[in-house]
A and B are shown apart, each in its own frame.
Chain A
Amino acid sequence: MSAMVAEATQAVNMLTAIKQALFEEMEREPGMVCIGEDIGILGGAFGVTEGLQDSYGAERVIDAPISEALIVGAAIGLAMRGRPVMAEMQFIDFISCGFDQIVNNAATMHYRTAGKVALPIVIRGPSGGYGGGGPYHSQQNESWFAHSPGLRVVCPSTPADAYGLLKTALRDNNPTIFYEVKELYRKRDIEEQIPSGDYTVPFGKARIARQGTDITLLSYGNPVYFCLEAADRLAEDGIEAEVIDLRTLVPLDDDAILESIKKTNRVLAVNEAPRTCGFAGELIARINEYAFEYLDAPPVRVTRTDTPVPWVKPLELAVLPSVDDIYEAAKRTVNF
């Protein structure tokens, strides 16, 4: 393969892992098209598609006008013609401009055509706060799309998962919204080797990031690392927290959640998105429905406040969930 980004034996960061998955899928599927703002000549605002247009040409790696509705609409059209599409949102915050195309058009296509028309689309983009990006460049708006039946919603937290899940998403016949936490793109201490072979990660399988017996911390994306750090602190207090990285929100690994709660009887749901109608709320609703009899304490959400993400760093950190928030909520829950 001429366009390999990294040697198989090398530890890579998440951005490189995603780039590599894109190159390999473009190579593997000659009909696949990438479309997005500045993804061609510039190679993407973050460099995820760097070199992609050079390798596969401007007809397969398309620089789109600044119109998310157009990007998604074009992706739907291409996909209806049987061509897998990677549609990039320069920041996932901008996805709202393509909202109607996604939720009314793409999400319902399978249903409206009685399953006859598949939409192998991955809409991916950098997401999340903690980077001083302000209100337009810091969102985690996954629950909008988890709320729209017909879409897959994915948010990996490790390079290998990002690689394996992106491949699964690009080969899936359903439209997928793929959240790439930009704070994790170049995070050095999570660099890892991508498993060799045609490595994919299935949808709907959570990852146990840390085993524990006393409380379950459910999360995905960047807060997975906050949960792990909180778990280290809890362990100093003699509390063994189990950290579960959900990886995909739709479909959701209900079994993994249930199994963990059966063991720990206590649970926190942590998401970076705002509190009201955030995915943590959905998790807790499900837990109440199917795990109620295993609970020894009320399930608790740890989330962003119901505010925009401020640009000023101290304010940004004040509204976003922190290791302290998770640690304290876990302590209270364990001591309930």
Chain B
Amino acid sequence: MPEEILMPELGESVHEGTVSKWLKQVGDAVKEDEPVVEIMTDKVNTELQAPVSGTLIKIIVPEGENVKVFDPLGLIGSPDEVPESAAAPSASPVDSDAAPTSSNESTASTNDSVQKVAGHPETETEGRKWFTPVVRAIAKEHKISDDELTSIAGSGGGGRVTKRDLQEYLGERPTTKAPTPTTEKKPEPDRPAAPTQPRPDQEIVTLTGMRKAIADAMTKAHVIPSVSTVTAVDMTKLVEFRKVNKESFQQTHGVRLTYTPFFIKAITESLVEFPMVNSAMSDDGKLIVNNAVHMGVAVALGDGSQGLIVPVIRDAHKKNLIEIARELEDIAKKARDSKLDLASIQGGTCTITNPGTYGALFGTPMIPPGQGAIVGTYAIQDTPVAINGSLAVRPIMHVVLSYDHRIIDGMLAGAFLKSVRDRLEAFDFFR
């Protein structure tokens, strides 16, 4: 019997992923635990290992296609099970040749209960979704395509989409009382936009995985009524300190001395001082007060074209500068190697982004959904400034706070930024 390569549950909120790459082709021999396929989800990229040794005899979900949790991606069997047509890999995820497997079972049984009460027919053939008549009828009424139906997470047997699932998907609630005839027109569900037609000099790419997640998150972020407030920080002491200690720090602590851990430390201390900035507004309009600081750190991947991920330094308020520096280096490396697990990118209460690393002078970052604020740190530039009536040249950095204006007022934002500025300028937190 061929063994299925199943899409695992990669996190509590991960329902599907995208096959980014098949590392083996049909007919290739695979060893148990050998990576066979690369999966990309909203949160992480990962390789899946072969559940058994054998030959990859079938690719059910081709590259670029989505796969739901617990659905089979491919089959591993013995070499003689490789289908004739495998030489030309099929792009179709639909497997029509699979027959229901339970027929033997039900005819063989002469059990009383089987005769008195009919068993259910096998309803889901491999790779193919089966929808009940009422689900099909409602889908037809609402012009929902098979693909869209397939994308709905089903609560029925074998993940089957039930009427209730579809109604919930459509934003309707099934009535628990006997329905009364109503002339009210049901609200039309949100229709997906008409497919974009490329011009001759364009190509259209479907967003998948991380890019899709970023797009969704930014759309959500855009809904937050946000304001940005900016302050300028004189970085003289910090720059000086870093210049002097860069090498010894690396030798003593085994970690590179960059500015970011200082920023995280300063922001964290200010968040403890101003807990409201560390709060967030929930979807149902309540204030979420966070009693711990979990600092998200935006990490750009590749040359900036491969997306961005925001690993979280948990309990930043309990960590000293060196611990933060070490953890930062660790998670940034993991992020770039796509080795982050789900826990390390969840639960951030505030986020820092550092566009200064690529020379940006000033910007207005967007608040990650689920948080109340984001701090941007920008390029440190020698700038002429007036100090006590004289002109001086100082390394100046802009720090921007974008914040949810529903819960954070301008004055609070200003006080928070002043607090961050004072900490960075005084530079008295490094003990």
Contact = CB atoms under 8 A, between A and B. Distances in A.
A301 interface: yes
A328 B120 CA distance: 12
Contacts, number: 71
A306 B118 CA distance: 13
B116 A295 contact: no
Contacts of B205: none
B248 interface: no
A329 interface: yes
B157 to A, nearest CB: 5
A175 interface: no
Contacts of A300: 117-118, 120
Contact of A302 (B117, B120, B136, B160): B117
Interface in B80-138: 112-113, 115-118, 120-121, 123, 132-137
Interface string A146-180: 00000000000000000000000000000000000
B233 to A, nearest CB: 59
Contacts of B359: none
Nearest to A212: B178
B102 to A, nearest CB: 13
Contact of B134 (A294, A303, A304, A329): A294
B214 to A, nearest CB: 37
Interface stretch (A2-10, A122-130, A245-253, A318-326): A318-326
B163 interface: yes
Nearest to B132: A296
B186 interface: no
Contacts of B162: 296, 336
Nearest to B162: A296
Interface string B159-180: 0101100000000001111110
Contacts of B414: none
Most B C-beta atoms less than 10 A away, residue of A275, A295, A301, A318: A295
B135 A296 contact: yes
Given A213-B178, A265-B163, A335-B157, A295 B115 contact: no
B307 interface: no
B156 A336 contact: yes
Given A211-B178, A304-B116, A296 B121 contact: no
Nearest to A208: B178
Contact of B160 (A303, A306, A332, A336): A336
Interface in A280-305: 292-298, 300-305
Interface of B: 112-113, 115-118, 120-121, 123, 132-137, 156-157, 160, 162-163, 174-179
Given A263-B179, A275-B115, 17 more contacts: A213-B177, A213-B178, A275-B116, A294-B134, A294-B137, A296-B132, A296-B135, A296-B163, A297-B120, A300-B120, A301-B118, A318-B112, A329-B117, A335-B156, A336-B120, A336-B132, A336-B157
15 contacts: A213-B175, A213-B177, A240-B176, A265-B132, A265-B163, A293-B137, A295-B132, A296-B163, A298-B118, A302-B116, A304-B116, A318-B112, A321-B116, A328-B113, A336-B162
Interface of A: 211, 213, 240, 263, 265, 275, 292-298, 300-306, 318-319, 321, 325, 328-329, 332, 335-336
Cβ-closest 4 pairs across A and B? A293-B137, A329-B117, A296-B163, A296-B134
